[in-house]
Structure formats: C-alpha cells, structure tokens
Amino acid sequence: MAVKVSNVPGVSPAPRLLRCRATDDTPATVPRDGSRKNCRSRRQFLASTVGGCLYSLSAYGADSSLSMTTRSIMAFELPSLPYLPNALEPYISARTFEFHHGKHHAAYVTNTNALIKDTPLAGKSLEEVIKSVAGDPDKTSLFNNAAQVWNHTFFWNSMKPGGGGVPTGDLARWINSTFGSLEKFKEEFKSAAVTQFGSGWTWLVLENGTLQVTKTANADTPMVHGQKALLTCDVWEHAYYLDYQNRRPDFVQAFLDHLVNWDFVTRTLAD
C-alpha cells in the first residue's frame, strides 16, 4: 500500500546540514574517514554551486548542488565528487570514476555550455534549462546533455563511503509502509534497474506524496514528469563495465547493499 507523505505523523524537520569544501583553490582536507574540514552551511553551498563556477576539476570537495535554482551568467562547471575517487572501492573503482566523472560527466558539462552559449538560456539555472527544453525536438541535444549533468550530480550524492545499511526514522517507516519492507523495496528497485533495456536510470521518487520506484531511459529525468528524485542508480554501461563487465545485477546489488546514502535520501525528502 502506498503511503502519502503528508499523512505520516511525527515528521521532523531536517537538521541543518553542513557541507565541507576547500576555502581557497586547494582541495579540502580529507581524512581517512571521508570527513572534510572547512565546512559551511548547505544554503551557502547551494548558492555558490548551482548557477555556475563550482570547483576545479581536480578537487574532490563538498556535495554538488542539487536544487539548482541560483541563476548565473557564468558557465556551468563540473561539480566535484563528494568523496575521493577511490572512496567507494571495492564496489566502484577509482578507474571507473576517472572515466565516468572525469570524462563522461565532464563532456556533458562542456556540451551544455556550448549549446546554451549566446542564447536566452545562458542565464538560467540547470533545472530551468532542463525543464524549458524538455519535449522540444529541436532541443533534444541540449536536454540530453543538461539532464545528464544533473542526473550524474544526483547519482554521486546518492552514494557514500560505508553506505548501504538501513534507513531510519520517518524514511524507514515510509519505505516499510509503501513497499512492505526494506528488502522488498530493494527487490523492486533492483528489478527496475536490471530490466531497463539499454541505457538509463533507476529512481526512488516522490510523486503526489507517494514513494515510487521508477526508471527512465537514456537522459530522461524525474523532474520533467512531476516527480521529486530521492535516490538514483546509473545503469548506463559506463557506470559499471570496468568493474562488473556485463554483470549489471551485481553492480545494482552492491549499490543497494554497500553504497546507498540514506542520509542524503532523508535530507532530500525533507527539503
């Protein structure tokens, strides 16, 4: 039975969230536990991140912006990973991140900037760009590249070192009420991911106050379907092929058991 978020009693507000990043042009200090120094508030971070210049491509700093509402006349830049590229090993290798983040994600950013240059879209946020061109056959290339920038940023933040485990609090109750149990949610999510033909994404979304598992093909993204993304797993082959070859089910299982950032899902749901 689906559960309406608005009907769940005892919803507590999300705690004030801190993100950490370097305070100058050097990468943030990253201890072995993955924590970072020089933290600042999430609102401050979002304001500086989304609309344009983020970090140098070599720095692995704070979580990248997800609300993407700040406008800027500056070009979009590749968001930093929210952890070091080897932090998710052995489940995702640094070699995979070298290509997935450093090549694929970077190319989507470059292409998006080229396609919006000297157009009225140049001053808009990434979300505004995506929504304004969705469904326009003349803007398919821009939609695909801009949506892939957003989707990948969301994917990085859907994972963390030492992730997996179980959600807690309201989120745990909503998942149990909607899917029957965490294990049944995992089964539904994995089935959606494994059965996605070709390239795409698997999502946990909120739609009309109800939690749902859904999947999108290629660059498609929930925001253009009236859904709020809470969690995603990238099932394009470049996301897992260096580590898992054609064993997509093993990759998805590792994602669910060892990588999911339930804290991020909880914060996103509460926003």
- pLDDT band per the 50, 70, 90 thresholds, residue 183: very high
Greater pLDDT, 65 or 151: 151
Query: What is the Cα gyration radius of the chain?
Result: 18
pLDDT surpassing 80 at residue 236: yes
- Identify the DSSP state of 27: P
pLDDT surpassing 90 at residue 225: yes
Domain segments of the chain: what residues? Answer: 18-84+93-157, 169-270
Q: How many CB atoms lie within 10 A of CB 50?
A: 24
pLDDT surpassing 90 at residue 26: no
Q: Torsion angle of alpha carbons 191, 192, 197, 200, nearest 10°?
A: -140
pLDDT surpassing 90 at residue 109: yes
pLDDT surpassing 50 at residue 255: yes
pLDDT surpassing 70 at residue 45: no
Q: How far apart are CA 256 and CA 227, in angstroms?
A: 21
Q: How far apart are CA 258 and CA 253, in angstroms?
A: 8
Q: Are strands 39-41 and 18-20 parallel, antiparallel or unpaired?
A: antiparallel
Q: What is the pLDDT of residues 194-212, one digit of tens each?
A: 999 999 999 999 999 999 9
Q: What is the Cα 163 distance to its own chain's centre?
A: 14
Mean pLDDT, residues 69-82: 73
Any idea how long the chain is? 271
pLDDT surpassing 70 at residue 226: yes
CATH architecture, domain defined by 18-84+93-157:
Orthogonal Bundle (1.10)
Fold of 169-270: minor pseudopilin epsh fold (3.55.40)
Residue identified by tokens 């983040």 is: 101
- Percentage of residues in the chain with pLDDT exceeding 90? 72
Q: What is the pLDDT of residue 240?
A: 98
Secondary-structure percent of the chain, ordered helix, strand, coil, rounded to 5 = 45, 10, 40
The one-letter code for the residue type at 41 is S
Which residues are bridge partners to 215 per DSSP?
A: 202
**The model's pTM:** 0.76
